[in-house]
Amino acid sequence: AQSVSQHNHHVILSEAASLELGCNYSYGGTVNLFWYVQYPGQHLQLLLKYFSGDPLVKGIKGFEAEFIKSKFSFNLRKPSVQWSDTAEYFCAVTASGSARQLTFGSGTQLTVLP
């Protein structure tokens, strides 16, 4: 079974700082990778996803992520964060043959200080 690790549990940044949130997965086969965001008191929203092709994927709100297969990583980046990016960020993965079973990482709470 696949698993996902997010090593940063809480990240605090000032506005305009650059962001990189780590995500590593363990699974030997083909995976689909996702980043979801959950703003305070709100539902999960899809930020971006990777299925195949260009390993650098761009999502909404200026976020991007890079799939590095050799490192089993799918890190989330944003060049300049805003106060409104304060939220919980979840990395998630589905494995080939288990496309309905979305496995989440433990989440990273991002706090952006104005």
Partner 1 sequence: DTEVTQTPKHLVMGMTNKKSLKCEQHMGHRAMYWYKQKAKKPPELMFVYSYEKLSINESVPSRFSPECPNSSLLNLHLHALQPEDSALYLCASSQERTYGNTIYFGEGSWLTVV
Interface residue with partner 1 among 11, 72, 77, 104 (CB under 8 A) is 104
Name all contacts of 42-51 with Cβ < 8 Å and 24+ positions apart.
44/90, 47/76, 47/89, 48/76, 50/74
Interface residue with partner 1 among 26, 106, 111, 113 (CB under 8 A) is 106
Q: Which stretch binds partner 1 (CB under 8 A): 20-28, 60-68, 74-82, 84-92?
A: 84-92
Contact between 42 and partner 1 per CB under 8 A: yes
What tokens does 46 get? 């899809």
Q: Which is nearer to partner 1, 73 or 109 (CB)?
A: 109
Q: Which is nearer to partner 1, 80 or 106 (CB)?
A: 106
